[in-house]
């Protein structure tokens, strides 16, 4: 699967109760308005392969928050480009 990123306002991600305890401060986090949620549920500062990681505490609660509160979903056409299974991606029809 190729990498998929979706931008979210920082304030929406901060609604996750464990956010402030697990955020990794970088030069890119100070004053940021948007972060990018990657298909593996890691949050990065921008949509590039070298982007600094902002949040990587991937728990069942975080995944549920991404699906339920952020309505995060990897597009089916992105999933179909994979050569093997991806434990995090799901397709809802």
Identify whether 34 is part of a domain: yes
Give the tokens for residue 16: 């996750």
What confidence tier does 88 reach under pLDDT thresholds 50, 70, 90? Answer: very low
Strand partners, 35: 8
Q: What is the pTM of this model?
A: 0.74
Domain assignment present for residue 93? The answer is no
91 domain-assigned: no
Cβ within 8 Å of residue 27, ≥6 positions away? 52
Q: How many domains does the chain have?
A: 1
User: Per residue in 37-79, pLDDT tens?
Assistant: 999 999 998 888 888 899 999 999 999 999 999 999 988 776 6
Q: What is the DSSP string of the chain?
A: ----EEEEEHHHHTTSTTHHHH----TTTTT-SEEEEETTS-EESSSSTTPPEEE----HHHHHHHHHTS-----HHHHTT-SS--SS-----
Tell me which residue range forms the domain holding 32.
5-79
Query: What is the Cα–Cα distance from 22 to 49, expressed in whole angstroms?
Result: 21
């Amino acid at each position: 699967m190729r990498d998929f990123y979706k931008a979210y306002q920082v304030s929406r991600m901060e609604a996750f109760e464990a956010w402030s305890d697990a955020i990794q401060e970088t030069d890119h986090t100070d004053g940021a308005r948007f972060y990018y949620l990657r298909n593996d549920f890691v949050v990065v500062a921008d949509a590039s392969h070298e982007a600094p990681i902002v949040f990587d505490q991937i728990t069942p609660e975080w995944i549920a928050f991404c699906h339920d509160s952020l309505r995060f979903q990897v597009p089916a056409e992105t999933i179909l480009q994979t050569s093997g299974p991806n434990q995090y991606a799901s397709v809802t029809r």
